[in-house]
Structure 1
Amino acid sequence: MDLVAPVVVEPLRGRRCSECRQGPLQRMIVEFNAPVCLDCADLGHLVFLPRGDTALTRRARENSALWAVVVRHNRRRTRYERQGLLVEEEALARAEAACLADAEARARRRARDAERRAVRDAGITAALEAEILRLFPSIPAERAREVAVHASVKGSGRVGRTAAGRALDPGAVTAAVRASVRHVDTPYDTLLMGGVPRHQARTRVAPAIEAVLRAWRYGGQDGHGRDRG
């Protein structure tokens, strides 16, 4: 048998119950074109559940032996619009408990997911740091860590988060180190702030960048395995 829920109206103007004469009514049903208060309609024991939480509404409705739809007339749209439900108080309490349990479960799942992402992100950073140290054995360890952390920030779009960076492509790793040198070890940022166009500024600092990279890559050698002393 299809269920037909009672419809309760929130009147736009003061109305009185046609049976008990109480009013003005906050909510009412209409019987034979006359307003009837919820107590007279045997709905007074129900509690109001505003619309908005779909899961809570569904559970409260399923747990309530008697429930009603609450509507209000929208004059501008010339139609009745749903405001929520009237449900049994015990049904609402059970629904709220179930939703709370779900919320706690979701929170635990989010925490586990965050922990897994943190472990994965730490692995990406550690792998990038190790590759920086391999390519540039004379780079200070603290600087290698700083470059790796900066380049692998989640959602940054930086080298460490690209496919090449995650694959530890030497060109991508070197690009991350070069970017750090450009901003930290050269006057590049100062040139930009002084109005020097970006491409000109990069050209001016390029020799200094290559000198730092060469020193970090070869240490005290000239790049061909020969001491520079």
Structure 2
Amino acid sequence: MGQPVTPHSPGRLVAVQPLRHKRCAACRQGPLSLLVLEDGAPRCLDCADLGHLVFLPRGDTALTRRSREESALSVVVVRFNRRKSRYERQGVLVEEAALARAEERCLADAEARRRRRARDARRRGVADERFTAAFAAEILRLFPGCPAERARAIAAHASVRGSGRVGRSAAGRALSGTAVVSAVVAGVRHGDTPYDRLLMEGVPRQEARRRIVPAVEAVLRAWRGAGEGEDQGCGHGRPPGARTPLPH
């Protein structure tokens, strides 16, 4: 299929990026990077009374739309795609002042979005701090012997936004006892036992967990029984000497 004589864009002026060297039929200047077809004859932008316009390449939809809104005169720029046998848009010609105004509008919007993102980030930060504090307080309620700094560290690690950790689960956000205990167990597993070293030595994960169960339970017993004695249980309905079930 050959190249059509005139590209078609209903209701809009069209300029062409030619694939071959073309000269203006009126002033004979060339080769032309852009031309307008009038009655099948190429005209340079100056001869077509479009020389005062500037080219805005495609790619920024908002800037293109606003440039056309601001410009009293705009021209669609196309180029023929031989493989697809059709003209494709490459950008627009608009008034230079209109482009400047459109860029200012886009920059203003970008700044507004930046400020909104900053405000949202601050709100999320405050909410995250409150949640981490509540999570740490629940750890200390369940494990009164846990050092406060350690409780805050476990809570902060478990509740990182977007981490997928137990603190961000539905149960974690509800501060359920199961979720809080799971976070504490994970903290003890990595911070108070040789679990990580066993993994680095190639011990299978489930076997490594089995080996460290006594160490984890010893820490949890100490943290639960502070001020009560180990034989008094945790003080929350757990029978004396009961073991804390470790999450898998």
Instruction: State the distance in 2 between where 1:155 and 1:146 align.
Output: 17
Structure 1 position 93 matched with structure 2 position 100: yes
User: SS state of the match for residue 203, structure 2?
Assistant: coil
Residue 41 of structure 1 aligns with which residue? 48
Q: Give the aligned partner of residue 232 of structure 2.
A: 224
Partner of 2:237: none
Q: What's 1:103 paired with?
A: 110
**Which residue is equivalent to 2:6?**
none
* Residue of structure 2 aligned with 1:151, choices 154, 158, 167: 158
Aligned-residue RMSD, C-alpha: 1.3
Could you tell me which residue of structure 1 aligns to residue 91 of structure 2?
84
One-letter amino acid matched to 1:224: Q
Write the distance in 1 (CA, Å) between the matches of 2:26 and 2:50.
Answer: 14
The answer to whether the aligner puts 1:71 opposite 2:71 as a matched pair is no
Q: Pick the aligned partner of 2:191 from 155, 163, 184.
A: 184
Identity score, percent? 70
Please list every run of 5 or more consecutive structure 1 residues that lacks an aligned counterpart in the other structure.
Answer: none
User: What is the Cα deviation at residue 4 of structure 1?
Assistant: 2.3
- Trace 1:187-226 onto structure 2 (pairs within 5 A): 187-219=194-226, 221-224=229-232
Deviation at 1:56, TM superposition (A): 1.1
Instruction: State the number of aligned residues.
Output: 223
Q: Deviations over 1:122-150 (max 9, x none)?
A: 11111101111111111111111110111
C-alpha distance in 1, partners of 2:152/2:95?
60
What is the CA deviation profile of residues 49-91 of structure 1, one whole-angstrom value per residue up to 9, with x for unaligned ones?
1111111111111121111110011111111110011011111
Task: Give the match's secondary structure for 2:171.
Answer: helix
| Superposed displacement of residue 214, structure 1 | 0.5
Distance in 1 separating the partners of 2:143 and 2:189: 16
TM-score (norm 2): 0.86
TM-score after normalising by structure 1: 0.93
The one-letter amino acid of 2:63's match is L
Which consecutive residues of structure 2, in runs of 5 or more, have no partner in the other structure?
Answer: 1-9, 234-248
Q: What secondary structure is seen at the aligned counterpart in 2 of 1:209?
A: helix
Change (3 A) 1:167 1:223: farther
Q: Which residue is 2:149 aligned to?
A: 142
Q: Aligned with 2:130: secondary structure?
A: helix
Tell me the distance in 1 between the aligned counterparts of 2:184 and 2:39. 81
* Residue 133 of structure 2 is aligned to residue 126 of structure 1: yes
1:73 alignment partner AA = F
Change (3 A) 1:21 1:90: same
CA distance in 1, matches of 2:205, 2:20: 68
Instruction: Please give the secondary structure, in 1, of the residue aligned with 2:100.
Output: helix
Aligned CA distance change for structure 1 residues 223 and 48 (closer, same or farther; 3 Å): farther
Deviation at 1:11, TM superposition (A): 0.6
Q: How far did residue 197 of structure 1 move? A: 2.0
Q: 1:100-131 CA deviation, whole Å, 9 max, x = no partner?
A: 11111111111111111111111111110111
> 2:89, 2:40 → 1: CA distance?
20
